[in-house]
Every structure is written in structure tokens, then in C-alpha cells.
Amino acid sequence: MQIIRGFRDILPDNIWIWQKIEREAVKLFKDFGFNEIRLPILEKTEVFARSIGEVTDIVEKEMYTFPDRKGDKLTLRPEATASMVRSYVQHKMYASDPIRKFFTIGPMFRRERPQKGRYRQFYQIDAEIFGIAAPYADTSLIFLLNELFKRLGLKDLTAHINSLGCPDCRPDFQKALLDLLESKKDELCVNCLRRKDTNPLRTLDCKAPQCRAALKDAPSTIDFLCDECKEHFAIVKKTLRQQGVEFIEDKTLVRGLDYYTRTAFEIQTRSLGAQSAVAGGGRYDLLVKEMGGPDIPAIGFAIGFDRLVEVMETLDKKVEKETLDLFIIAIGKPAVKAGYLWSTNLNLQGIRTEVDYRGKSLKALMKRADKLSARYVLIAGEKEIKEKTCILRNMETREQVVIESDKIVQETIKIIKNNN
């Protein structure tokens, strides 16, 4: 049997990278005052259709949507923000305190064309801030992302930022863009021809060369910002500079979803080829209200966990191989039984211990100890059991000590912990 196309098993071989990233991220989130929230992976389709926007690639083409047995239309979540807002509104979290900072980590589902860095089930690390309109919410998220990547040892990353304006400044921009698209319609790709009528903003990040050429002098949202949006964006940029966060102001950064307002940002890398965005986010000041809540601003980001792991894998770093503290070589039934009991007690004390129950020879078991990269081996043969002693061997220095059987657990712990 084979796994579904675009889905992957994340195997124990490199799970340590996933765990390391998660540890660093959770620590930073906690230090910056974010609380974890866990959300379902299945939601009513309308949660995504209404928030992400009916005419976006995700909603039009990529969602896993199906009726359940009673005919309700359900969707495997393609992103976390919509569910986050649904939860914030449903539980009226704003009533006791509108200011909330959440993070969540989990799988998302999009039926895109699978390739390296793009999967149909992928993972995101997601953070959102509700209730803060000030530009410092924007800078704190970008700063946090930057810090996380720094702590993970990543260098080749660039933050791209843009401002998409608000309902006050969008109409003038949209008119200017539509005028241009109309005048260039013979030069656009078929997708952009469609986008012109459905979601014109998306034409600005089309990668097709003919669209790039036709739209090279396209108006950009930042040229149309109202005074308030202008000031907001200016503070974001100035603060990031003060905090030493490098960024590029990128007029073509429009992001794929309808709900963004003002600051939009993306962290890009050159080490992953076509799938260059490692994280993306932005402000969505209108979404809480659109989803039935009060008028509360919000902003968030999503890190592509799979891609972050892939960037980490390109680093020339030593692979953290799992090692074993102790391998018990037990020969004969009484020794195997004793070995099992010792190993459980040692495991309880934080000593990674394994025993082999297959009744193999000393030579075969020494080989296995090597294969498992055991730091120590405890040899309990028939002779040793009779004499009520065992041999503890340091596999690196080859030093051996004899330990009395009834002191195995304490003595082994002492020796192994002293040599850590």
C-alpha cells in the first residue's frame, strides 16, 4: 500500500530537526507572551470560504472539501488563521480581554501540485495577535520570526515587507491597477486575464515573464496609502531598522489571501529553489468583524515547517544522531529476565537502555551494541549471573569494571552520569 500523493511520512531519521525547531519556537513564543491554542483540522467549509476569499487559488482549487455522512460541507483546514478567528469569535474571547496572543502548530492541507517544498499535507507554525492596532504588533511578529531563524542558525533569509493599505486607500489603487490591466490585456497570461476580473491584486505576484514585463510599471499599493496607513508603515520600517532587522521593501508582495490589510510580510530563502517563502503573514484588521465578531484588529504569520526543516537540512551541520547510553548483553534466561528489570529501572532514571531478548551470541550482541552506538555495554553472561556480578564496559575507552548484581542500577547510573 502506498501513501497518498503529496502526503509524507516524517521518519525518525530527521525528526530531531522538527523537534529542535519546535522547542526553539515554543520557547520564544512563551517568552514573548503567546499561549498555545489547539484547533480542529476539520471545519465547516464556510469558515475558509468566507475568510480566505471565494476567488483565491486556495478556495477555488486547493481545498479538500467533502460532504460528511449527513451532507454538511466540511474542509480540511488549508491554513490556521481562519480557524483561529472562528475560535476567538465563537468563544467571545474579546469580551474579557480583546488582546490575545496565540500560537498553534499542526498540519494543513492544500491540493497543490506536489514538488519539493510543496506538499498536500504540510505543517505550519502559526502565531496571531488579536486586539493591537499599533504597528508594534507588526514589528514584534517580524522581530520574533527573525530571532527564531537566528537562533536556528539560518543566515540566507530575507524579510520582504509591503503595505496593502486599508478600505480607504484600496479603491484608488484598484482603479489604477484595473485601468492598466485593461490596457495590457493582450499581453497577460490566461490566469491573469481571469484574475483581472476576479482578484486583480494577484496579477502583481504572477511569475509569468509576459505578465512581469507587462506589469513592470504597475501601480503599487504603497503609492496609494492614506495618511494613517502611510504612518503605520513608516513606523514599522523605522522600528525594524532600530531593532536591527534587515528587510526589503517589496512592492510585489501581495500575498494570496483576501483578508490582508496594511502590513504584509514574507521571509524568503535562496536555498530552496522555486519554493522560496519560508514564512508569511500580515495584518487582517477586518476579518474578526467579517466573521461575526466586533471590530478588532489582528495580525499573524505562518511558518512553513516543512520548508524550514529543508533549509536546516542544507546547513552543513553535524547530524544529531540518537545514541544509546547502555546496551545490556544478557546471555541465558535468568540474565535476560534480570536485564529486562534493570533496563526498566534505568529507563526510569533517564538512562537510555536497551536489552536484546533474542538469545543471540556474545559476538552478535557486541555487534548490535556498535550498531546502536551504545556508550556502555553491560555484560551479564551465565558465569556472571552465577557469580552475582556483571561487567560494565565503556565502549569508547574500553575500560571495564565489575559490578555486583544487586548494585547494578545504582552503580551504572553513577558511572554513566559521571561520564556525561
Closest distance of CB 53 from ligand AMP, Å: 13
Q: Which residue's CB is nearer to ligand AMP, number 8 or number 337?
A: 8
162 lies in the binding site for ligand AMP (CB under 6 A):
no
Q: In the stretch 51-80, what mask flags binding to ligand AMP with x, by CB under 6 A?
A: ----------------------------x-
Q: Which residue's CB is nearer to ligand AMP, number 52 or number 181?
A: 52
Chain residues 121-140 in contact with ligand AMP, contact rule CB under 6 A: 122, 124
* Residue given cell 460528511 in the structure block: 68
Closest distance of CB 341 from ligand AMP, Å: 46
* In the complex, residue closest to ligand AMP by CB: 304
Q: Which residue's CB is nearer to ligand AMP, number 124 or number 220?
A: 124
Burial class (CB in 10 A: 0-12, 13-18, 19+), 158: middle
Chain residues 328-387 in contact with ligand AMP, contact rule CB under 6 A: none
- Tell me the three state secondary structure of residue 309: helix
Query: Do the beta carbons of residue 105 and residue 124 sit within 8 Å?
Result: yes
Dig out the grid coordinates for 118 from the structure.
510543496
Number of residues counted as binding ligand AMP (CB under 6 A): 17
Q: Which helix (H) or strand (E) holds 336?
A: helix 333-348
Instruction: Supply the DSSP string of 193-247, one letter for each residue.
Output: HHHHHH-GGGGGG---HHHHHHTTT---GGGG--HHHHHHHHHHHHHHHHTT--E
CA 166 – CA 274 distance, rounded (Å): 30
Q: Which residue's CB is nearer to ligand AMP, number 104 or number 343?
A: 104
Taking phi first (over 0 means left), then psi (-120 to 50 degrees means alpha), and beta for anything else, what does residue 50 get? alpha
Phi, psi of 67 (to 5 degrees): -80, 140
Taking phi first (over 0 means left), then psi (-120 to 50 degrees means alpha), and beta for anything else, what does residue 175 get? alpha
Q: Which residue's CB is nearer to ligand AMP, number 15 or number 401?
A: 15
- In the chain, what is the straight-line distance between the N-terminal and C-terminal CA atoms, in Å? 44
* Residue given cell 490566469 in the structure block: 191
Q: Which residue's CB is nearer to ligand AMP, number 21 or number 335?
A: 21
Chain residues 3-62 in contact with ligand AMP, contact rule CB under 6 A: none
Chain residues 105-124 in contact with ligand AMP, contact rule CB under 6 A: 110, 112, 117-119, 122, 124
Chain residues 306-325 in contact with ligand AMP, contact rule CB under 6 A: 306-307
Q: Which residue's CB is nearer to ligand AMP, number 279 or number 338?
A: 279
Dig out the grid coordinates for 372 from the structure.
546502536
Closest distance of CB 374 from ligand AMP, Å: 37
Q: Which residue's CB is nearer to ligand AMP, number 56 or number 139?
A: 56
Closest distance of CB 266 from ligand AMP, Å: 6
Q: Which residue's CB is nearer to ligand AMP, number 166 or number 254?
A: 254
Q: Which residue's CB is nearer to ligand AMP, number 301 or number 376?
A: 301
Closest distance of CB 287 from ligand AMP, Å: 14
Chain residues 248-307 in contact with ligand AMP, contact rule CB under 6 A: 256, 277-280, 302, 304, 306-307
Query: Do the beta carbons of residue 187 and residue 214 sit within 8 Å?
Result: yes
In degrees, rounded to 5, the angle at the alpha carbon of residue 160 between the alpha carbons of residues 59 and 163 is: 70
CA 138 – CA 122 distance, rounded (Å): 25
Chain residues 214-253 in contact with ligand AMP, contact rule CB under 6 A: none
Cβ-based neighbours of 44, under 8 Å, separated by 6 or more: 72, 73, 74, 75
- Residues of this chain that interact with ligand AMP (CB under 6 A) are 79, 110, 112, 117-119, 122, 124, 256, 277-280, 302, 304, 306-307
